[in-house]
Amino acid sequence: MKIQNNFLQVIGTCVALMLIWLTFNEDNPNQGVTVPAINPGMTYVTHVFSKVKVAAPFWQKHLCDLRNVSLEATEQKQIPLHISMNDAAIKPGEKNIFLLETSCDPRPTYRAWCAVESWAAQNPKGYVYYVMTAPYLQDLTGIVTALLAAYDNMKITPMNLTQLFQLTPLDKFFSTLKWAKSTGWPTIQLSDILRVALVWHYGGYYSDTDIICIKDVTPLHNVVGLQQPHELNNAHFHAQKGHPFIYKIMLGMLQHYNPRAWGSLGPTLFTRVMKEACGAHILDSKDGLKFQKCFNMTIMPQRIFSPVFWSANQKLVDEGGWEVLEKDFDASYTIHFYSQLIKVKPVRAGGRSVYDVAAKKYCPVTYKFATAHSHFF
């Protein structure tokens, strides 16, 4: 009886929201990307209406403690992200696209939202999942609502990580918090293991949140990119569900993890596994468009995913840089901005740096929010 009442209540709320929304839209036929008055996007977040309180899982407690984020939504404009058994209802498929927030951050940066939006915008046939570890999202500006309303192929996804990792060889590594103990980089390591677990279990693409997608990538299958000659990057890759290369990566993680070395589960490991399988020569692509294959993975030359070399990434935020570099992006599907290196430098809106122009073009909703009250982002 009680369940039925709750159910009716939820249906009632949905119908009411729908009507308000329709009315609102009718009054504003040309509203473009402005923020809707209410929150239709809420319905994309699974279990928003759930009243069932479940204790935060151990991994979430650990992450949120590190950041001093409370485990419960208490203020207004917080969208709760409840973890449940069947969250997200992600289907296995080649067109899944995963981006991650692994530091219990309820307020991802505009640059992170830009990445997420760019994937949704350039890949209308893809399904973009932004997997969150925070217990709620703080939507003070309304950007979350606006993005979810603008892209119906984009979802915010809380996730039962225990359940996911149980389906992989990384189960124990995850559940014993090995990735978080005696190390300075728990969130990076979680991100490294979570991306491979997701792609292994569901199949699809993974992308870091300092990448802007500039082209439909869905024709590319089973790919990984070089970030410089002789070195692969794990910042963006695609693999079919259950791909043997990803399996090998997971085994490599168990074997080669070093809590005291930065990124021991990242590019170094991808590079090592590939070299062990096919020999070092497999990675010495000069920057020509030479596509090597190993493990049924195609190794993409640098310019496909990371057209500007990381040590030159200053060029990506220099004013007027777009005009200088635009031609270099002809063959590229994504631009990697290496946020670790450029986040200290704000970009001026209208300055026509590569970041400025790319954001305006490829993540228009986020760009509008980011530049609404500030000349820099």
Q: Which residues bind ligand NAG (CB under 6 A)?
A: 54, 68, 83-85, 160, 162-163, 166, 221-222, 296
The nearer residue to ligand NAG, 109 or 298, going by C-beta atoms, is 298
The nearer residue to ligand NAG, 11 or 54, going by C-beta atoms, is 54
The rounded Cα 55 to chain-centroid distance in angstroms is: 25
Q: Which residue has the tokens 């991802």?
A: 108
The nearer residue to ligand NAG, 65 or 319, going by C-beta atoms, is 65
Minimum CB–partner distance for residue 49 and ligand NAG (Å): 16
Minimum CB–partner distance for residue 147 and ligand NAG (Å): 26
- Token pair of 89, please? 């209802």
CB atoms within 10 A of CB 358: 22
The nearer residue to ligand NAG, 186 or 351, going by C-beta atoms, is 186
Give the containing element (helix H, strand E) for 55: none
C-alpha pair distances (Å), 286 with each of 89, 163, 300: 42, 42, 11
The burial class, CB within 10 Å (0-12 / 13-18 / 19+), for 172 is exposed
The residue type at 225: G
Minimum CB–partner distance for residue 317 and ligand NAG (Å): 31
Minimum CB–partner distance for residue 86 and ligand NAG (Å): 8
Instruction: From 87, 77, 66, select the one nearest 183 (Cα to Cα).
Output: 66
Instruction: Give the separation between CA 196 and CA 246, rounded to whole angstroms.
Output: 6
Does residue 130 contact residue 158 with C-beta atoms inside 8 Å? no
The nearer residue to ligand NAG, 83 or 265, going by C-beta atoms, is 83
The nearer residue to ligand NAG, 15 or 54, going by C-beta atoms, is 54
Minimum CB–partner distance for residue 166 and ligand NAG (Å): 6
Instruction: For 308-325, give one letter per residue: b (16+ CB within 10 A) or e.
Output: bbbeebeebbbeebbeeb
Minimum CB–partner distance for residue 184 and ligand NAG (Å): 17
Minimum CB–partner distance for residue 175 and ligand NAG (Å): 10
The nearer residue to ligand NAG, 6 or 162, going by C-beta atoms, is 162
